[in-house]
Amino acid sequence: MALRKIPQIPRNRPTEASSRRGHVRRRSVALAAVACSALAVACLTGASGPALAAKRGASVPLVVYSAQGYDQAMVKAFQHATGIPTKLDTNSTGPLLAQIQASRNNPHWGLLWVDGQTAFAELDDEHMLVRGFEPKVDWNSLGREVLPKDGSFVPTGITFMAAVAYTSKVVKDPPKSWATLLSAKWKGDVGMNTPTQSGPTYPFVAGMMNDLGSIAKGKQYFEKLKANGLVIHTTNGPTLAALASGQIELALVQSSAAIGARHTDPNLRVEYLSPVTMLPSNIGIDAKATKTEISEAERFASFVLTKTGQTVMKNGTPTGDSLYYPVVQGIKARPGLPPLGSVKVQHIDPYVWGPREAAINAWFVSTITK
C-alpha cells in the first residue's frame, strides 16, 4: 500500500477487555518453584528437550506485560513450543506503562506488548529498551514502514485510530470529515476514550495535532469538540457500550474494536475519516532484564511473527484485536477488514510524539476529560 505521508513537525528528541491484577516478579522464588515443578514432571514423565532445559535451570520466568486480547493464547502457545516458563500480566496500556515507570529501578517485566509506538519511543529515549534486535522475518511494506531504525521494538500488526463507529438505524448520514464533528448536528453525540487509560487514544490525539500542523491547533480542535458535548470514557469497550445504549451516536475507537462490534450488532457501521492514524502493535524488551530473559523475550517476539504465532494472533480474539493487518509476508488479514487502498492513513513519527505524550495527556485530562 502506498501510504500518504503527512509532513512531520520538526523532530526534537530528548536524551531519554478488562483490567486484571498485576503480578510482582520474585525471580529467585519463581525460579525455584519452576525448577522444582519441572524436575518433578521430568522424573515422572521422562521429560526431555525444552522441559528438561527448564528443569536444569536454563530458563527463567519470562514476564510479559500485555494489553492484547490474544496474549493468553500466545503465552500458552509459546510455552508449549519452547518450554520457557512465562508469566502474563495483562492490563490496559496506561496502567502497564505506569507500572514500568514505578519500578524502573527494579523492573518486574521482561517484555511489553501494547498498541502504539509513541510509548516505546519514549522508553527507548530513556534507555529502558534493548536496542539492535530485529527478528529474521520477511517484512511486508507495512512492517518496513513502522520498523524503528535502532531496533528497540518490534511491530507485530497494524490497526487504525480512530475509526468512527455508528448504528445505521440511528445515523443515516455519517460524517465525512473530522471538521464535521464540530457541527451542531453532532452536539453531545460524539464519544471517545481517554489517552491515560487507552493505549490507542494518544496516537489518535497526536495524529490530529500532526495533521493539523501543530500542537496548538490540535488542542483547539479537541477544545471545540468538548464544547460541542464530547463524551469521554476509559477504553474502547465502555465507549462502544455508550454507543449501544444510545448515549452517543458516534464512537471514536480503535478499528479492530469497531469492526469486531459488528459481530454483536449487524447494524453497526464503520467510517474512516481522512486521515486515520496508523496504530502498530509492538513488543519491547526490558534493557535491565537478565541475559537469559532478554534471550527468551527475543524468542517470544520472533515466535509471534512465525506462521504459528500469527495464527494465534489471528484466531485469539476474532471479534477484537485479531482484526489487524499483518506486517510479514505470506500472512493474510482476517475477513471483514477494509482494503488498505480504501483508507487514507498517516504514520506519525513516534520519536517526535513520544516525548510529548506525558504533557499532552496531562493537558487532555485537565482540559478535555474534566
Any idea what the CATH number is for the domain that residue 332 is in? Answer: 3.40.190.10
What are the E-state strand segments in the chain?
62-66, 86-90, 111-115, 153-161, 163-167, 190-193, 231-233, 250-253, 268-271, 276-285, 345-346
pLDDT of residue 188: 98
Lowest mean pLDDT among 121-130, 227-236, 311-320, 330-339: 330-339
Region 117-131: what's the mean pLDDT?
97
Is 115 domain-assigned? yes
Let me know the angle formed at the C-alpha of 273 by 268 and 274, rounded to the nearest 5 degrees: 160
Is 9 domain-assigned? no
Is 15 domain-assigned? no
Region 5-18: what's the mean pLDDT?
36
pLDDT of 304 higher than 90: yes
Q: Looking at the structure, do residues 99 and 184 belong to the same domain, yes or no?
A: no
pTM of the model: 0.82
Q: Looking at the structure, do residues 152 and 288 belong to the same domain, yes or no?
A: yes
Look at the alpha carbons of 209, 210, 212, 215 in this order and tell me if their dihedral is positive or negative: positive
pLDDT of 181 higher than 90: yes
Q: Looking at the structure, do residues 166 and 128 belong to the same domain, yes or no?
A: no
Q: Which amino acid is at 255?
A: S
pLDDT of 331 higher than 50: yes
Burial degree of 49 (CB within 10 A; 0-12, 13-18, 19+): exposed
Give the pLDDT band (50/70/90) at residue 342: confident
Q: Looking at the structure, do residues 130 and 176 belong to the same domain, yes or no?
A: no
Q: Looking at the structure, do residues 66 and 146 belong to the same domain, yes or no?
A: yes
The percentage of residues in the chain with a pLDDT greater than 90, rounded to a whole number, is 79
Region 182-193: what's the mean pLDDT?
98
Give the pLDDT band (50/70/90) at residue 341: confident
As a whole number, the mean pLDDT across the chain is: 87
Look at the alpha carbons of 203, 207, 210, 216 in this order and tell me if their dihedral is positive or negative: negative
pLDDT of residue 58: 62
Q: Looking at the structure, do residues 221 and 358 belong to the same domain, yes or no?
A: yes
pLDDT of 21 higher than 70: no
Nearest-CA neighbor of 368 among 248, 223, 233?
223
165, 168, 170, 174 alpha-carbon torsion, rounded to 10°: 60
pLDDT of residue 53: 42
pLDDT of 3 higher than 90: no
Q: pLDDT higher for 30 or 115?
A: 115
pLDDT of 44 higher than 70: no
Q: Looking at the structure, do residues 37 and 166 belong to the same domain, yes or no?
A: no
Number of domains present in the structure of the chain = 2
pLDDT of residue 54: 39
Q: Looking at the structure, do residues 61 and 108 belong to the same domain, yes or no?
A: yes
The residues with which 286 forms a beta bridge, in sequence order, are 129
Helix ranges (H only) for 290-344 are 291-304, 307-316
Q: Looking at the structure, do residues 178 and 240 belong to the same domain, yes or no?
A: yes
Domain limits at 210? Answer: 161-277+354-369
pLDDT of 275 higher than 60: yes
Region 258-268: what's the mean pLDDT?
94
Is 102 domain-assigned? yes
Give the pLDDT band (50/70/90) at residue 56: very low
pLDDT of 17 higher than 80: no
Q: Which amino acid is at 234?
A: T
pLDDT of 48 higher than 50: no
Q: Looking at the structure, do residues 224 and 207 belong to the same domain, yes or no?
A: yes
Lowest mean pLDDT among 9-13, 257-261, 287-291: 9-13
- Which helix or strand (DSSP H or E) is residue 88 part of? strand 86-90
Nearest-CA neighbor of 112 among 127, 135, 91, 139?
91
Q: Looking at the structure, do residues 207 and 191 belong to the same domain, yes or no?
A: yes
Cis peptide before 200 (omega within 30 of 0): no
Is 57 domain-assigned? yes
Q: How far apart are CA 188 and CA 222, in angstroms?
A: 14
Place of cell 475509526: 163
The percentage of residues in the chain with a pLDDT greater than 70, rounded to a whole number, is 84
Nearest-CA neighbor of 348 among 298, 269, 249, 277?
277
Is 117 domain-assigned? yes
pLDDT of 23 higher than 60: no
Is 113 domain-assigned? yes
Residue by residue, DSSP assigns 137-159 as --B-HHHHHH--TT--EEEEEEE
Is 347 domain-assigned? no
SS3 content of the chain, % helix, strand, coil (to 5): 40, 15, 40
Grid cell listed for 120 = 516505546
The residues with which 86 forms a beta bridge, in sequence order, are 62
Q: Looking at the structure, do residues 207 and 247 belong to the same domain, yes or no?
A: yes
pLDDT of 57 higher than 90: no
With H, G, I as helix, E, B as strand and everything else as coil, classify residue 9: coil
